[in-house]
Amino acid sequence: MTIQQFKQTAIEKLSSSPSPALDADVLLQWILQKDKTFILFNRELELTEEQEDKLSAAVEKRRTGLPVAYITGTKEFFGYDFHVTTDVLIPKPDTEVLVENAANWIIDEYSMQPGTFNVCDMCTGSGCVGISLMKFLSESDSTIAGEHLPGFTMCDISSAALAVAKGNADRLLSEVQRQKFNFVQTNLFDNLGHAKAGIYDIIVSNPPYVPASETTELLKDGRSEPRLALDGDVTLEGKPSGTNDGLALIRNLIPQAYRFLIPGGMLILETGEYNAEETEKIMQENGFKDTKLYYDLEGQLRNVSGIK
């Protein structure tokens, strides 16, 4: 079987996928360890029996609804290749704006008052937000990259997710950068002590914010993403909150984050386009000022920030 023959067969088998041709190309690149240009210009290349078997197995997994990123174990985010498993959400392009907005705030604050910033990445998952933020700051500002590298506390309730995040930090960060990272398993801020005056300059978070009913519907397609990282309608004990707006966890996160920020510090969250405005109200009710809404790559409300 040639590359082109495999691709035609895969497209037919993956007709229920929203992107069968792209799925086939990504699987070919993964198995052959070649880029898309190679795949395009070598369509008549004969696949080995081993390659055919691996590709066929991958297509069958994709037919169940399992995302390609979970099959290949890799997803690009902010220009970097992150390892992903079904213990973490697959990084989404729209979350890149969370990194950009957080980085812009840090750079602006640093220009006015140079120093070492302390960053908390709450609900870190794969670590894509915090790790990308460190790399972006290091590569865009030589002063910050020097003696003022930020310190990062990467938090998640899931030990399996933290293991993925640690692995990504080991692969993507330099030794000097890794020394600035601390990984903490915690239910929101429970295991970070009891801050009174505040310890973080900025808290970034992509928390669970999908309504419970919508989470159930999303997971019916076999995507296998962890419900723990999607469903925002849970109590601090992990039980159903009885609400269906995706904000139960955020209602707990926001006042806790306020306590852990220094005066003048920023909280910036990713939310859904359907509950971003309500999230802003919750911030305001909990003492945050200068709240702001940000749009994602598709023009939907996606980030909400506030200043302590």
Give the mean model confidence (pLDDT) for residues 75-92: 97
Averaged pLDDT score across all residues of the chain: 95
Q: What is the pLDDT of residues 236-250, one digit of tens each?
A: 999 999 999 999 999
Contact 224, 183 (CB under 8 A): no
Least confident interval from 101-105, 190-194, 218-222, 298-302: 190-194
What residue spans define the domains of the chain? 3-63, 86-307
* Predicted local confidence at residue 291, as pLDDT: 98
* Predicted local confidence at residue 98, as pLDDT: 98
Rounded to two decimals, the pTM is 0.94
* Predicted local confidence at residue 141, as pLDDT: 66
Question: CA distances (Å), 82 to each of 26, 75, 131, 193, 223, in order?
Answer: 15, 5, 10, 30, 18
Give the mean model confidence (pLDDT) for residues 209-217: 97
Based on the number of CB atoms within 10 Å of its own CB, is 278 exposed (0-12), middle (13-18) or buried (19 or more)? Answer: middle
Give the mean model confidence (pLDDT) for residues 205-217: 97
Span 3-63: which CATH code?
Answer: 1.10.8.10
Residue 143 has pLDDT above 90, yes or no: no
Q: What is the percentage of the chain residues whose pLDDT exceeds 70?
A: 97
Residue 252 has pLDDT above 90, yes or no: yes
* Predicted local confidence at residue 148, as pLDDT: 83
Confidence of residue 196 (pLDDT cuts 50, 70, 90): low
Tell me which long-range contacts 10-14 makes (C-beta under 8 A, separation of at least 24): 10/55, 10/59, 13/59, 13/63, 14/59, 14/62, 14/63
* Predicted local confidence at residue 140, as pLDDT: 79
From 3.40.605.10, 3.40.50.150, 3.90.1150.10, 3.40.30.10, which CATH number describes the 86-307 domain? 3.40.50.150
